[in-house]
Amino acid sequence: MLTIGTIAPEFALQDQNGEMRSLSDYSGQKVILYFYPKDMTAGCTKQACAFGELYPHFREKGAAVIGVSKDTVASHKKFEEKYGLPFTLLSDTEKKVLQAYDVWKEKKLYGKVSMGVVRTTYLIDENGVIIKAFGKVKAAENPAQMLGELE
């Protein structure tokens, strides 16, 4: 996980509509950048839907919400449409941003070791500096936690 006070790594990834998005597009506003393992899975759906429900409150506080996973643009589009997600989902199929933000890690599940995304959320300030970092977050609780961090 990246440390607080670090300049957030720049990126350029396609969103769920196939448009290129970069961190610098959000200059001048706070960004909640959250990394999750996979579209349409139980935990990721709870997290995304909770961010969606709270989205108007994030916007009131001047913050953008961006979700990133290794899923494809098409998968993100289906995820957005099925659950009415109002925020940006970025596709990192090559795992370059996942690695730059230090969230692509070795994971153990039932004794099996594999590589995957460790659910992590960063709060980035208006100048692109990481001001909060949370690793191994609880999917359902993370959106409310991040809204609280903006208070």
What is the C-alpha separation between 135 and 8, in angstroms, rounded? 15
148 burial level (CB within 10 Å; 0-12, 13-18, 19+): exposed
Residues with Cβ within 8 Å of 77's Cβ and at least 6 positions away in sequence, in order, are: 16, 17
What is the distance between the alpha carbons of residues 73 and 78, in angstroms, rounded to a whole number? 9
Q: Which of 13, 44, 50, 68 is catalytic?
A: 44
- SS3 letters across 63-77: EEEEEEECCCHHHHH
CB atoms within 10 A of CB 26: 19
Tell me, yes or no, if 44 is annotated catalytic.
Answer: yes
Which residues are known catalytic residues? Answer: 44
